[in-house]
Structure 1
């Protein structure tokens, strides 16, 4: 069956049931990633430490949002990277140049999100250094 043959108005579930099912699919994705991806577990632990720490810092609301959003961004990018890796590995475990490129690009995205998080945290700490003491 081609994707052209699928009626875009047809869904197995609709309304609230569809939203609830999507929520549970999301929880399944988080649980699977926590179970199978060491990098995501490490970043989740980092988030579990840094998010509560951000509430203890005397910073503006906007700065606080930058701190928390930068951490959430790392988790989002890691989830997408893990999805890319899973799909590539499911298709073939052979060494293939395009598969390597896709995995390397996902890894680079994670690196950039971590760099972004570091810069956000460092900037907020430097700007507010004197108010911490």
Structure 2
């Protein structure tokens, strides 16, 4: 049996409340400290309603809006990687630099995928 961490809770309603509080603190920290997250959030606030309006089916609406939420999720993970890397060391280190670059690449791929999803739904309407 592995020893339990003193930082892990045992469960129950208190755990759910604490998890929600930590999640909201994380969103607040991302908003305060990450310009990219703020920009992408503002874009999502504009485009999610547009996606809900432009989608003809529930699947299209979910695709258009869900991809934007996906961008925010990947940006949060990237920001967490960057914060952790900076907490370890602000000196140049090839592995920390690689971790940051890989996180950035993940955001780029998610943005490209989101653009492709929007194009796949909207372009056929303009062509036909």
50-59 or 84-93, which moves further after superposition?
Answer: 50-59
Q: How many residues align?
A: 128
- CA distance in 2 between partners of 1:100 and 1:14 (Å): 37
- CA distance in 1 between partners of 2:38 and 2:125 (Å): 30
Residue 97 of structure 2 aligns with which residue? 100
Preserved CA contact (<8 Å) 2:31 2:38: yes
- CA distance in 2 between partners of 1:107 and 1:58 (Å): 29
- CA distance in 2 between partners of 1:61 and 1:29 (Å): 30
Preserved CA contact (<8 Å) 2:44 2:68: yes
Q: Please state how far the C-alpha of 1:88 moved relative to its aligned partner.
A: 0.3
Give the TM-score, by structure 1 length. Answer: 0.88
* Structure 2 counterpart SS, 1:94: coil
What are the Cα deviations for residues 97-129 of structure 1, in whole angstroms up to 9, with x where unaligned? 001000000000000000011001111111333
Higher relative contact order at CA 8 Å, sep ≥6: structure 1 or structure 2?
Answer: 1
Give the TM-score, by structure 2 length. Answer: 0.91
What are the Cα deviations for residues 77-113 of structure 1, in whole angstroms up to 9, with x where unaligned? 0000000000000000000000100000000000000
Preserved CA contact (<8 Å) 1:43 1:74: yes
Preserved CA contact (<8 Å) 1:59 1:128: no
Q: Please state how far the C-alpha of 1:11 moved relative to its aligned partner.
A: 4.6
List alignment gaps of at least 5 residues for structure 2: none
Q: Please state how far the C-alpha of 1:130 moved relative to its aligned partner.
A: 7.0
Find out whether 1:112 has 2:109 as its counterpart: yes
- CA distance in 1 between partners of 2:33 and 2:118 (Å): 28
75-84 or 59-68, which moves further after superposition?
Answer: 59-68
